[in-house]
Amino acid sequence: MVGSRTSQIAYPLLVLAMTGSPATAGLVGFVGTVPYILFQLPAGAVMDRVNRRRLMIACDIVRMVALGSIPLAAWLGRLTIVQITIVAFIEGAMFVFFRLGEVAAVRIVVPPEQHSAALAQNEGRLRAATLLGNPIGGFLFDAGRTVPFLADAVTYVASLVTLLLIRAPFEEARTDAPRRVLTEIQEGIRWLWGQHYILITNLAASATNGLIQIVILVVIVAERQRGASGTIIGLVLAGFGVGGVAGSLSGGWLAKRLRPNTVVLIALWVWATLTAAIGVVGNPILLTALLASLAFMGAVWNIANGTIYYRLIPDRLIARVSSVGSLTAFGALPLGALAGGLLVQWFGPVTAGVIAGAGMLLIALLTTAAPSVRRGPAMSAAAGS
């Protein structure tokens, strides 16, 4: 994950250095995230019918070769924007498959009594990688334009080696004959549709993801208007990383002591209370604390609901059901970014922040009104059924 975050910031920097065009840099970023939407559902169906470990190893090999091709082409003097764009697309596609395999495999490899601890550790690693990856990527780019991509390729060697060292199976024994991919996708959607608690919390998470994109832009524009430097803005936004790490360290402990629906409702009302203040607060320290609080509850939410996923979703369906949630969650990100840009442009950062807060309040009200969320998940459901 540190490697991915390292190359993530290097893509636009490299494209800008080669072309000077922000539009081209944006296009490369867009192509790199398109697989998050295109491949979620088919990837879930595939991961529920194949040997997950082997396919995850294949994903690492493909990403390693693709990323390694960038410094090689640069050394040969043949690096083009087309190649960078193709590599970004390949890396995005392999990420989708690998991630769904990982989500499904953790449940099998880790004993049930340790699921919340494992989810908390993974959440912590992700948040820490996000916190560290960008500055590392910037530093490596200054050392050489394609060095971040070489470093990222090396991290996939490390991932590949650790996967090869895991001897436990990544899935239960398969007894059903494979069917058409579309049929298997529909089965995952039907299962989720019948589980109101998971369905509603998925939709709530997706909507809040979109609104958080508005919050990020509000912070950047508002701080710029107040005369803050880029360094100050970066430190303020680092509140997301700090709060996320703190939430991941606490999430396992909280998941064992609070019902998952309690975590969901607390998180939604904390977000609804704090979001509207983001565009108004002018003190950088207080603003950082607000962002850290939002991220803290996000990490706790992920751990609590991830544990419920493992308890309720059968192994034969878990990648497919997770893919539906991932599709809505990732699909909300570009929509939120687009909405944030329009709102800030039309109304200014303060009003845009208030609108985002109103959206959070609406989500909190609707989710709280849902009987399935107030009752919580039906824990008697058999995970293997």
The pLDDT, as a whole number, for residue 181 is 64
Range of the domain at 16: 2-178
- Does 77 lie in the same domain as 51? yes
Please give the single-letter amino acid code of residue 145: R
pLDDT digits (tens, 9 = 90+) for 68-114: 999 999 999 999 999 999 999 999 899 999 988 888 888 888 888 88
Domain boundary among 178, 197, 219: 178
In-domain check, residue 76: yes
- Does 148 lie in the same domain as 71? yes
In-domain check, residue 310: yes
Q: What gap in Å lies between CA 21 and CA 15, rounded to an integer?
A: 8
Q: Based on the structure, what is the number of domains in the chain?
A: 2
- Does 24 lie in the same domain as 144? yes
The pLDDT, as a whole number, for residue 231 is 62
- Does 103 lie in the same domain as 45? yes
Q: What gap in Å lies between CA 298 and CA 292, rounded to an integer?
A: 10
In-domain check, residue 288: yes
- Does 224 lie in the same domain as 153? no
Most confident of 112-116, 184-188, 367-371: 367-371
In-domain check, residue 385: no
- Does 301 lie in the same domain as 152? no
- Does 353 lie in the same domain as 292? yes
User: Are 305 and 264 in contact, with CB atoms under 8 Å apart?
Assistant: yes
The pLDDT, as a whole number, for residue 175 is 63
CATH code, domain carrying 20: 1.20.1250.20
In-domain check, residue 133: yes
Percent of the chain with pLDDT over 90: 23
In-domain check, residue 302: yes
Q: Is the pTM of this model over 0.75?
A: no
Which tokens sit at 20?
């000077």
In-domain check, residue 380: no
Distances from the Cα of 277 to the Cα of 3, 53, 155, 224, angstroms:
34, 45, 39, 17
In-domain check, residue 338: yes
